[in-house]
Structure formats: C-alpha cells, structure tokens
Amino acid sequence: MAYKVALVSGAAAGIGAACAKRLAQDGAAVGVLDLDEARCADTVAAIKAAGGSAIALGADVSKRDQAFAAVEKLRDALGPVTILVNNAGVTDFTPFEEITDELWDFVYAINVRGPMILAQAVFPDMKAAHWGRIINISSSSAQTGAINMITYSSSKGAVVTMTRSMAQEFGPLGITVNNIPPGSVMNTIMSEANRDRFQIPTEVLLQTVPVRRLGEPEDIANACAWLASEASSYVTGQTIGVNGGRVVT
C-alpha cells in the first residue's frame, strides 16, 4: 500500500498485536496502543525488526483525553491516521442476576464508547484525506447470544450496529467501516483465561467449527489487512465473520 498510518488498539497482545504486525507488513506505519505503553514494546520491536515503522502509545480507550492525546502523538510522529482498528476489549461472564451497574458501565465504556472515541479522534484525518478504513472487532457472541454473556455480547452487538450506522454516515466521505466478529481465537490473553476457566476439551470445541481447527490471531489479521486495503473499497457496513464456519448467517 502507499504510505499510510494505522492505529490499532489493544495491540500489546493477541489479535491486536497480529493486526498491527500484519498492517506493518503491508506497508503501514503503526501506532501500537494499549493500556500501558511499556506493554506495547514487544509488538513495536517485532514490527521494527521486520523493517517496519511503529510507535507505542499508552491510553485507556474509554478515556477521551487519553485517547485523543495518543492520536495526537501518533499524528505528530508518523502522520495523519487513516486506518483505525478498534480491537481493545474486555470480556465478562457474569450471570444475569449478578450484573451490576458498575460492571455494565465498565464493559460498555471500553467495548462501545472506546471505539466511538477513537473514531472521533482520527475522523478529521480521514475526512481531510477523503479516505479512511475503520475496522471494528466485535464478537461471534453478538451474532448468536451467549449464556452468562449478556453484558459482553450486547456490548459487541452495539459495535455491530455502530459499524452499520458509521458506514452510512461516513460512506460519502470515502471512509469505509466494517466489523469482524471472531469466533474462538486461541493464543490470546482473553482466550487463554477462558480456556483455564471453562476447561472445555479442544475436541469438543472443534466439533462446533466446520473447518475443524481453532482460530489464530493471524486469521483475524488477514481479514483486517484486506479490509484496510484498496481491494475492499466497495465493502462497507458489513460483518465479515472469521470463525471457521462456526456462525453462518
């Protein structure tokens, strides 16, 4: 791709790290954002070792001042930001009767308000360029619903709907907006914690996945790279399931 600057949230680990590395491989300069700047070091080092360009950014995506300051830092260092991957997220398995207002607000602040704030922070750059790509990472639980995941799955459902509305509003400005709802993606902090918690044998999980393998962060990164490229310019407002066929809509 021609020189472009991408911002990937939650990029210290897991899916976000894979997306950041893949976009850098495709030629983007990348802002690697996570809660703590120091935790971004591995992703930044991997990108630089492969000959790419990246900087670490520490910010809580739910905090407007921190998110805008991080985008400002990225813009100053590498240039206007025209690719945004809203990947940072938190999961939750609280049964319905135990959900508190505090828990609900915490999850929604990160999973829903965070992507909206980051989109607002990069929007002027995309508008000025008359070109932009926003890729929101949702969840297959938003498509299917899930037991003990009312808070999380509904927050990701909001991400799907936000994608559709942003796509309609931003389309005339040359900005596409799509979401990827991952299925079960292994080798991330979130999925390892879930695996420890539920102890579901891999053979059982595999029975729910037609291609008979679990997802890797790179599977999501591949779709992300395509959505960030010119090749996807006629695709907007869509939900691109990357789940081995586990959810078919």
Ligand X SMILES: NC(=O)c1ccc[n+]([C@@H]2O[C@H](COP(=O)([O-])OP(=O)(O)OC[C@H]3O[C@@H](n4cnc5c(N)ncnc54)[C@H](O)[C@@H]3O)[C@@H](O)[C@H]2O)c1
Q: Is 189 in the site for ligand X (CB under 6 A)?
A: yes
Interaction pattern, residues 74-103, with ligand X; x per rule: CB under 6 A = -------------xxxxx------------
- Is the Cβ of residue 56 or residue 110 nearer to ligand X in the bound state? 110
Would you call 234 a catalytic residue per the annotation?
A: no
Q: How many CB atoms lie within 10 A of CB 120?
A: 13
Query: According to CB under 6 A, which one of 19, 24, 56, 60 is a site residue for ligand X?
Result: 60
Query: According to CB under 6 A, which one of 30, 81, 110, 121 is a site residue for ligand X?
Result: 110
- Measured CA to CA in angstroms, residue 63 lies from 87, 106, 110, 159, 174 at distances of 15, 11, 9, 17, 27
Q: Is 8 in the site for ligand X (CB under 6 A)?
A: no
Query: According to CB under 6 A, which one of 26, 34, 37, 125 is a site residue for ligand X?
Result: 34
Q: How many CB atoms lie within 10 A of CB 181?
A: 25
Give the range of 8-16, 21-29, 221-229, 230-238 binding ligand X by CB under 6 A: 8-16
- Is the Cβ of residue 78 or residue 118 nearer to ligand X in the bound state? 118
Give the range of 59-67, 92-100, 195-203, 223-231 binding ligand X by CB under 6 A: 59-67
Phi-psi region of 79 (alpha: psi -120 to 50; beta: other; left: phi over 0): left
Residues 116-175 that bind ligand X (CB under 6 A): 137, 139
Q: Which residues have a Cβ under 8 Å from the Cβ of 174 and sit 6 or more positions away?
A: 126, 129, 130, 131, 132
Rounded-to-integer distance, Cα 117 and Cα 95, Å = 29
Catalytic residue, chosen from 3, 108, 152, 234, is 152
DSSP-derived secondary structure letter, 92: -
The distance of closest approach from Cβ of residue 130 to ligand X in the complex, given in angstroms and rounded to an integer, is 29
Q: Is the dihedral of CA 27, 30, 32, 33 positive or negative?
A: negative
Rounded-to-integer distance, Cα 161 and Cα 195, Å = 29
Q: Is 62 in the site for ligand X (CB under 6 A)?
A: yes
Give me the half-sphere count of Cα atoms (radius 13 Å) on the Cβ side of residue 69: 10
Which residues are identified as catalytic? 152
Which residues form the interface with ligand X (CB under 6 A)? Answer: 9-10, 12-16, 34-35, 60-62, 87-91, 110, 114, 137, 139, 182, 184-185, 188-191
